[in-house]
């Protein structure tokens, strides 16, 4: 399923999906679900997970400055604290919205 429209509204990201449903994702939830290697870690060929030490997030970490479309399959949020490496596929974005 693809989003027809994505807009930040207050402290949420509003998504209108191609099936007519809508989702409202809290920006804090979105940031904490960041799938980048720095946030979630990365796995080597043997299945070992390597992850940075947990770091406290400041209030700026939950302020969405903008998002960029990545091809026709994802968005990349840019947060006020400078973090911008997470790429949310539309499939993953939908999962985050329903969790």
Query: Would you call 17 helix, strand, or coil by DSSP?
Result: strand
**pLDDT at position 17 over 90:** yes
Cα–Cα distance, 33 to 76 (Å, whole number)? 12
Lowest-pLDDT range of 13-17, 42-46, 70-74, 84-88: 42-46
What is the CB neighbour count within 10 angstroms for residue 25? 22
- Give the range of the structural domain holding residue 71, as residue numbers without chain letter: 3-98
Question: For residue 37, what are the CA distances in angstroms to 6, 18, 27, 33, 43?
Answer: 24, 29, 19, 12, 9
pLDDT of 51: 82
**pLDDT one-digit tens code per residue, 24-76:** 999 999 999 999 988 888 888 998 888 888 888 999 999 999 999 999 999 99
pTM for this prediction: 0.88
CATH number, domain of 15, equals 3.30.2020.30
* Number of domains making up the chain: 1
7 in Cβ contact with 77 (< 8 Å):
no
pLDDT of 25: 97
């Amino acid at each position: 399923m693809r989003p027809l429209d994505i807009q930040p509204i207050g402290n949420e990201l509003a998504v209108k999906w191609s099936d007519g449903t809508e989702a409202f994702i809290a920006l804090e939830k979105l940031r904490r679900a960041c799938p980048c290697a720095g946030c979630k870690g990365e796995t080597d060929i043997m299945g070992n997970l390597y992850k940075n030490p947990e770091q406290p997030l400041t209030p700026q970490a939950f302020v969405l400055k903008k998002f960029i479309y990545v091809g026709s399959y994802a968005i990349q949020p840019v947060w006020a604290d400078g973090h911008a490496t997470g790429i949310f596929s539309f499939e993953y974005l939908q999962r985050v919205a329903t969790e």
